[in-house]
């Protein structure tokens, strides 16, 4: 095997983009904002439970409560000092994270949930779309991951197009409960567990590893983007294909050169192999080469083995 | 399941459970709370007629089958543990085990098995013979097929084992060790079709074993020092197929009718008249290192930088792909009402070239000795640069406005030919708003536009011009063949759009905690009228409405109606197929 010489250069658009980012870093240092603490003191969980007994009861087995064993100020750890609210009963006199959420402010939950798993949460598309963590999480319950609903229903509530696609004839087994949305999508960051590296195709290849290559004989769209041929959430066509064969293939490739042949009408047997018999029709050749390309080109994702014909330079992906 | 798979399950489970049992902080004063449930049921699965194309993932074992679910959860003080097991049938079962001790240790083990039914291609369309004239005189080109196992029911069982462990280093609340692992084992059989030509185009359907094994392990550390978060993750994945490589006998190449031209046809093929392997899956491995640094700038925002190095290898063929990428994300709040999100990334991927050595074409024959050997350059070798900026304005809780722009440049160094420097440039823009006057109602609208200059397209053109006047003949004969004919091709074609417009609208109404009503519309139109002769167009439209009512905690009624319209027009395919 020969190795390519390095041919990478630092392009102007990249330089401009990086310069803009660095400029923004300096600009940001100009702006600093602050926030005053509420004018109240802590009163303890007992006081809270006098009115919010149902929530308090549920919260006892909640992971947040359990991690704060021995601390009788678990409510105020998030809601802040509650003496003023305990006195006047006014919801406005105590901190309520969902009502306080603004995209431009700091997220309160992120104060604790700030490891690498949440490193890119602020500014993530998902973060900007929701009205706070409580859109998906019910903080006081004891449900798994404190989710308001379990996936995929929780995700489908907003991603309605995916709900439709998940019920298409060809789909990943999300509805069947064998694959979850979180197996491919990381809700709080851009990292997906069990992927190796950050190649754009890695999300698919981390499970479909047999197709990862690199292969000696390649099919270029496989290197480019799995989404050129496949719609992962569900399709009418078989194998999550955007269109049925041969239409999908014909959107890039010319038709097979045998397609113009007129078919013989009647029974026949192969002269050199008399045991191979059949019935041909006028359109038989068209049906043979224009029904399903992958019947012959079966290794469409790539192969290390040359195909039979020299004139095809071994790259027909039939083997 | 093979022994190593079981062994890893046992070892990882032990590693997970031991810290929970031996935790020194188990408080004697704390009572233990636990809840469990056992669910016993049965189901029956039956099939009629041709069932090989149904139930790709939910096809159960035929007949009556008991079904069991068991769940158990408990906690004592700051330690907790959960178990969930489900047996559906011998091919579908799941088991989840998780534990946590204080905020120091957490671990999970999960196992899941499922069965994937594979379709069987009957190949019945592959039966035809050419007629050389209007008098129905049979010709030499013909298709025949053969099913070695027509009654086979193909499919494979997928076993997946995952573990995930996180430990905070004692005495250091800001140092966390992470390790996770996943093994996927797919075992069963599948249909493989092999085609051979010269002497008749003959397709043979065979049953091939499936025994694919993927193991992924990752380990890393993350540390926090004040506002700085630093993390490293190393990941390694291997893949190997343990199934025997199927083989097929390729007919001796000869003219399908006149067998006197054996040498003539034999010299056109890489192999013939022998048994050769096909459908071979290479053994591969991939290693990646990812380093991340994040600086929290308090109210002002944060900066996240990452760098990844990866190396993927096809061990069977000795090919490698190396990748280096870096990204920078900067989130800043210039004021209490505004936010700017800036992203920049650069990735460089280099894929090995491969030298393809083929026998000389028509070697020893008149006009023969043509060398069709070639070097395969990879379009995976590329430089990808991305940059984007999003501006968000939220004057108060009721309104939020978005405005974003982005750039992506993909430069393929060797596509469509060596050092071609083919480049795709994408420019994206998006604007939207969100309105939430109160907690009962919210609505959102977003419009996006993407312009793609030179989207990915195949290197081969669509049509072939008549005539050969522009071509040079082969060196030793008068024929025009293969590479020469590429110069006759014209008509660029792709199924990728050059302009995409998308609109998304959502309206939600929640009169109280127990009822909700939502309506939405998603629409996108992708077109490509930049190719010289063939247009492409894709339209997606999906209106939907849904309602949910929970009159009591025991009842939850939900209804949803979604209509989806998805249409793709590739005029090349449609016009020719209609013709």
Of the candidates B240, B262, B106, B72, the one whose C-alpha atom is nearest the C-alpha of residue B177 is B106
Of the pLDDT bands very low, low, confident and very high (cuts 50, 70, 90), residue B571 is low
A-chain residues near B279 (CB < 8 A) = 298-299, 319
B-chain residues near A281 (CB < 8 A) = 128
Q: Where are the alpha helices (DSSP H) in B129-220?
A: none
Residue of B nearest to A227 (CA): B496
Of the pLDDT bands very low, low, confident and very high (cuts 50, 70, 90), residue B14 is low
Q: In this predicted model, what pLDDT tens digit does every residue of B51-92 receive, in sequence order?
A: 666 678 888 888 999 999 999 988 887 788 999 999 999 999
Of the candidates A307, A288, A140, the one whose C-alpha atom is nearest the C-alpha of residue A219 is A307
Mean pLDDT computed over A234-241: 90
Q: Which domain holds residue A251?
A: 214-269+277-319
Q: In this predicted model, what pLDDT tens digit does every residue of A265-274 receive, in sequence order?
A: 999 998 888 8
Residue A15 has pLDDT above 60, yes or no: no
Q: What is the pLDDT of residue A97?
A: 77
Q: What is the pLDDT of residue A23?
A: 47
Residue B37 has pLDDT above 50, yes or no: yes
Distance of residue B103 Cα from the nearest chain A Cα, in angstroms: 7
Mean pLDDT, chain B, integer: 85
Q: What is the pLDDT of residue A26?
A: 42
The CB density around residue B104, as the number of other CB atoms within 10 Å, is 17
Q: Please tell me what DSSP assigns to residue B535.
A: -
Residue B575 has pLDDT above 70, yes or no: no
Comparing A212-216, B77-81, B479-483, the range with the smallest average pLDDT is B479-483
Nearest Cβ partner of A288 from B128, B286, B330? B128
CA atoms within 13 A on the CB side of B533: 13
Q: What is the pLDDT of residue B108?
A: 95
Where do the domains of chain B lie? Answer: 283-394+403-431
Residue B158 has pLDDT above 50, yes or no: yes
Measured torsion, CA atoms of residues B567, B568, B572, B576, in degrees rounded to the nearest 10: -30
Length of chain B: 579
Mean pLDDT computed over B162-167: 95
The CB density around residue A39, as the number of other CB atoms within 10 Å, is 9
- Three-class DSSP category at B165: strand
Inspect the interface and report whether the beta carbons of B481 and A311 lie closer than 8 Å.
Answer: yes
pLDDT higher at B183 or B9: B183
User: What is the per-residue burial (b if ≥16 Cβ within 10 Å, else e) of A256-265?
Assistant: bebeebbbbb
Q: What percent of chain B has pLDDT over 70?
A: 89
B189 upstream amide cis, omega within 30 of 0: no
Distance of residue B532 Cα from the nearest chain A Cα, in angstroms: 14
User: Is A265 within a domain?
Assistant: yes
Q: Please report where in the chains the tokens 């009115």 appear, as a residue.
A: A51
Which two structure tokens, joined as six digits, stand for A122? 């602020």
Q: Contact B273/B250 with Cβ under 8 angstroms?
A: yes
User: Is A230 within a domain?
Assistant: yes
Mean pLDDT computed over B373-395: 93
DSSP chain A: ---PPP-----HHHHHHHHHHHHHHHHHTT-----PPPS-----HHHHHHH-HHHHHHHHTSHHHHTTTT-S-HHHHHH---HHHHHH--GGGS--HHHH--TTS--SGGGT--SGGGTT-TT-HHHHHSSSGGGTB-TTS-SGGGBSS-TTHHHHHH-HHHHHHTTSSB--TTTTTSS-HHHH--SSSS--TT--S--TTHHHHTTSGGG----SB--HHHHH-GGGTB-TT-BSSGGGBSS-TTHHHHTTSPPPTTTTPPBP-EEEEETTEEEEEEEE-TTHHHHHHSS-GGGTS--TT-BSS--SBTTTTT-S---
Select from B108, B128, B336 the residue whose CB has the most chain A CBs within 10 Å, as the one to mutate to test that interface: B128
User: What is the per-residue burial (b if ≥16 Cβ within 10 Å, else e) of B358-395?
Assistant: beebbeeeeebbbebeeebbbbbbbbbbbbbbbbbbbe
As for how many domains chain A has, the answer is 1
For strands B138-147 and B201-225, give the pairing: parallel
Q: What percent of chain A has pLDDT over 90?
A: 25
Inspect the interface and report whether the beta carbons of B376 and A258 lie closer than 8 Å.
Answer: no
Comparing B68-72, B173-177, B238-242, B400-404, the range with the smallest average pLDDT is B173-177
Q: φ and ψ at B83, to 5 degrees?
A: -135, 140
Mean pLDDT computed over B5-13: 51
Cβ neighbours for B194, distance < 8 A, ≥ 6 positions apart:
A298, A318, A319, B203, B204, B206, B246, B248, B278, B279
B193 upstream amide cis, omega within 30 of 0: no
DSSP A64-119: HHHTTTT-S-HHHHHH---HHHHHH--GGGS--HHHH--TTS--SGGGT--SGGGT
- Reported pTM: 0.86
Q: In this predicted model, what pLDDT tens digit does every residue of A153-187 receive, in sequence order?
A: 889 888 888 888 888 889 999 998 999 999 999 88
Q: What is the pLDDT of residue B262?
A: 67
Find the radius of gyration of the CA atoms of chain B: 31
CA atoms within 13 A on the CB side of B367: 9
A-chain residues near B324 (CB < 8 A) = none
User: Is A236 within a domain?
Assistant: yes
Of the pLDDT bands very low, low, confident and very high (cuts 50, 70, 90), residue B50 is low
Q: Contact B484/B471 with Cβ under 8 angstroms?
A: yes
Inspect the interface and report whether the beta carbons of A243 and B570 lie closer than 8 Å.
Answer: yes
A-chain residues near B254 (CB < 8 A) = 272
Residue A101 has pLDDT above 80, yes or no: no
User: Is A297 within a domain?
Assistant: yes
What distance in Å separates the CA atoms of residue B4 and residue A309, rounded to the nearest whole number?
Answer: 42
Inspect the interface and report whether the beta carbons of B300 and A29 lie closer than 8 Å.
Answer: yes
User: Is A247 within a domain?
Assistant: yes
Instruction: Determine the number of helices (DSSP H) and then strands (DSSP E) in chain B.
Output: 4, 30
Q: Give bridge partners of residue B72 from the DSSP assignment.
A: B36, B83
| B548, burial (CB in 10 Å: exposed 0-12, middle 13-18, buried 19+) | middle
pLDDT higher at B135 or A122: B135
Of the pLDDT bands very low, low, confident and very high (cuts 50, 70, 90), residue A25 is very low
Residue of A nearest to B537 (CA): A251
Q: In this predicted model, what pLDDT tens digit does every residue of A30-89 receive, in sequence order?
A: 333 333 345 788 888 889 888 988 888 878 778 787 776 667 888 888 888 888 888 888
A-chain residues near B415 (CB < 8 A) = 220
B-chain residues near A263 (CB < 8 A) = 128-131
Which two structure tokens, joined as six digits, stand for A94? 């105590």
Inspect the interface and report whether the beta carbons of B387 and A13 lie closer than 8 Å.
Answer: yes
Of the candidates B269, B370, B283, the one whose C-alpha atom is nearest the C-alpha of residue B318 is B283
Nearest Cβ partner of B292 from A116, A213, A251? A116
Q: Contact A132/A101 with Cβ under 8 angstroms?
A: yes
The CB density around residue B42, as the number of other CB atoms within 10 Å, is 9
What distance in Å separates the CA atoms of residue B137 and residue B144, rounded to the nearest whole number?
Answer: 18
Of the pLDDT bands very low, low, confident and very high (cuts 50, 70, 90), residue B429 is very high
């Amino acid at each position: 095997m020969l190795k390519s010489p390095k041919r990478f250069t630092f392009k102007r658009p990249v330089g401009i983009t990086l310069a803009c980012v660095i400029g923004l870093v300096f600009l940001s240092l100009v702006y600093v904002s602050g926030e005053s603490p509420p004018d109240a003191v802590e009163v303890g969980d007992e006081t809270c439970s006098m009115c919010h007994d149902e929530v308090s009861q549920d919260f006892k087995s909640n992971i947040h409560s359990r991690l704060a064993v021995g601390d009788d100020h678990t409510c105020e750890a998030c809601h802040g000092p509650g003496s003023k609210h305990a006195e006047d009963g006014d919801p406005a006199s105590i901190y309520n994270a969902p009502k306080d959420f603004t995209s431009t402010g700091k997220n309160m939950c992120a104060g604790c949930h700030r490891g690498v798993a949440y490193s890119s949460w602020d500014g993530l598309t998902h973060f900007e779309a929701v009205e706070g963590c409580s859109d998906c999480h019910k903080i006081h319950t004891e449900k798994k991951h404190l989710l308001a609903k379990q996936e995929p229903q929780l995700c489908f509530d907003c991603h309605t197009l995916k709900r439709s696609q998940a019920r298409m004839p060809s789909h990943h087994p999300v509805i069947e409960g064998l694959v979850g949305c979180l197996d491919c999508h990381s809700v709080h960051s851009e990292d997906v567990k069990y992927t190796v590296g950050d190649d754009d195709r890695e999300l698919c290849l981390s499970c479909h590893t047999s197709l990862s290559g690199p292969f000696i004989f390649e099919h270029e769209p496989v290197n480019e983007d799995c989404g050129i041929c496949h719609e992962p959430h569900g399709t009418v066509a078989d194998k999550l294909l955007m269109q049925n064969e041969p239409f999908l293939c014909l959107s890039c490739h010319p038709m097979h050169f045998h397609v113009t042949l007129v078919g013989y009408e009647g029974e026949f047997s192969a002269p050199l192999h008399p045991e191979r018999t059949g019935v041909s029709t006028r359109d038989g050749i068209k049906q043979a080469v224009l029904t399903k390309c992958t019947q012959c080109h079966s290794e469409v994702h790539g192969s290390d083995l040359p195909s039979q014909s020299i004139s095809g330079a071994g790259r027909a992906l039939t083997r | 399941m093979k022994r190593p798979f079981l062994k890893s399950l046992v070892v990882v489970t032990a590693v997970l459970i031991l810290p929970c049992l031996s935790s020194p902080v188990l408080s004697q004063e704390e009572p233990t709370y636990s809840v469990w449930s056992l669910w016993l049921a049965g189901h029956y699965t039956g099939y009629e007629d041709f069932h090989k194309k149904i139930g790709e993932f939910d096809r159960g074992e035929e007949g009556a089958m008991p079904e069991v679910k068991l769940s158990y959860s408990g906690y004592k003080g700051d330690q907790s543990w959960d178990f969930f097991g489900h047996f559906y049938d011998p091919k579908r079962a799941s088991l989840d085990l998780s534990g946590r001790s204080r905020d120091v240790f957490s671990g999970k083990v999960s196992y899941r098995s499922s069965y994937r039914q594979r379709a069987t291609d009957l190949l019945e369309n592959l039966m035809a013979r050419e007629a050389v004239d209007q008098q129905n005189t049979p010709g030499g080109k013909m298709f025949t097929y053969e099913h070695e196992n027509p009654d086979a029911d193909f499919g494979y069982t997928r076993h997946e084992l995952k573990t995930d462990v996180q430990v905070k280093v004692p005495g250091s609340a800001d140092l966390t060790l992470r390790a996770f692992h996943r093994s996927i084992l797919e075992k069963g059989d599948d249909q493989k079709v092999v085609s051979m030509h010269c002497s008749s185009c003959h397709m043979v359907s065979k049953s091939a074993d499936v025994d694919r094994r993927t193991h992924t392990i990752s380990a890393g550390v993350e540390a926090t020092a004040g506002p700085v978060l630093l993390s490293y993750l190393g990941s390694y994945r291997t893949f190997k197929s343990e199934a025997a490589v199927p083989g097929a006998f390729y007919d001796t190449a000869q003219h399908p009718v006149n067998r006197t031209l054996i040498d003539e046809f034999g010299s056109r093929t890489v192999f013939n008249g022998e048994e050769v392997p096909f459908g071979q899956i290479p053994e591969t491995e991939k290693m990646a290192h990812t380093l991340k640094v994040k600086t929290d700038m308090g109210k002002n925002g944060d900066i996240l930088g990452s760098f990844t190095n990866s190396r993927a290898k096809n061990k069977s063929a000795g090919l490698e792909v190396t990748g280096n990428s870096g990204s920078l994300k900067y989130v800043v709040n210039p004021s209490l009402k505004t936010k700017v999100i800036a992203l920049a990334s650069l990735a460089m991927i280099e894929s090995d070239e491969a030298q393809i050595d083929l026998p000389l074409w028509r070697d020893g024959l008149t006009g023969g000795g043509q060398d069709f050997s070639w070097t395969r350059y990879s379009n995976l070798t590329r430089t990808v640069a991305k940059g984007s900026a999003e501006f968000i304005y939220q004057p108060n809780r009721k309104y939020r406005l978005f405005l974003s722009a982005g750039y992506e440049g993909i430069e393929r160094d060797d596509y469509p030919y060596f050092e071609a420097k083919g480049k795709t440039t994408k420019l994206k823009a998006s604007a939207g708003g969100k309105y939430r006057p109160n907690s009962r109602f919210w609505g959102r609208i977003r419009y996006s536009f993407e312009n793609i200059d030179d989207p990915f397209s195949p290197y081969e053109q669509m049509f072939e011009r008549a005539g050969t006047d522009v071509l040079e003949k082969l060196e030793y004969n008068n024929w025009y063949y293969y590479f020469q004919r590429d110069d006759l091709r014209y008509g660029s074609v792709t199924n990728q759009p050059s302009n995409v417009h998308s609109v998304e609208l959502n309206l939600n109404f929640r009169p109280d905690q127990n009822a909700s009503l939502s309506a939405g519309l998603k629409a996108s139109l992708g077109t490509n009228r930049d190719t010289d002769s063939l247009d492409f167009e894709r339209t997606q439209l999906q209106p939907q409405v849904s309602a949910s009512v929970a009159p009591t905690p025991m009842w939850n009624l939900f209804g949803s109606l979604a209509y989806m319209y998805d249409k793709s027009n590739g005029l090349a395919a449609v016009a020719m197929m209609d013709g």
